[in-house]
């Protein structure tokens, strides 16, 4: 039976010195925090848009209409 890529990476990482494993662990943890930052930014943007809608500073359109408009933009965009 073959190892998964994750198992291979783990086995290799366990061969590192303590300081190398520490650095790797810190980098992996930081990558998770970056995902949290991205999620937080999306939540903030969603809240900003909801607030603008509630204050009637922004309009909303039906989902099907939004998809139709997006598809039309894709079809009509210039070729790069």
Give the residue extent of every domain in the chain.
5-76
Q: CA 59, CA 38: separation in Å to the nearest integer? A: 25
pLDDT, one tens digit per residue, over 22-59 is 999 988 888 887 778 888 888 899 989 998 998 999 88
pLDDT exceeds 70 at position 79:
no
pTM: 0.45
Closest CA to 49 of 37, 40, 57: 57
Element (H, E) at 4: none
**pLDDT band at residue 80, thresholds of 50, 70 and 90?**
low
Per the listing, tokens 């590192």 go with 16
Q: CA 50, CA 67: separation in Å to the nearest integer? A: 20
């Amino acid at each position: 039976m073959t190892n998964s890529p994750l198992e291979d990476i783990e086995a290799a990482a366990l061969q590192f010195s303590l300081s190398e494993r520490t650095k790797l662990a810190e980098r992996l943890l930081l990558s998770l925090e970056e995902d949290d930052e991205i999620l937080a930014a999306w939540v903030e943007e969603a809240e900003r848009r909801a607030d603008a809608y509630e204050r009637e500073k922004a309009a909303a359109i039906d989902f099907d209409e939004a998809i139709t408009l997006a598809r039309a933009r894709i079809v009509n965009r210039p070729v790069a």
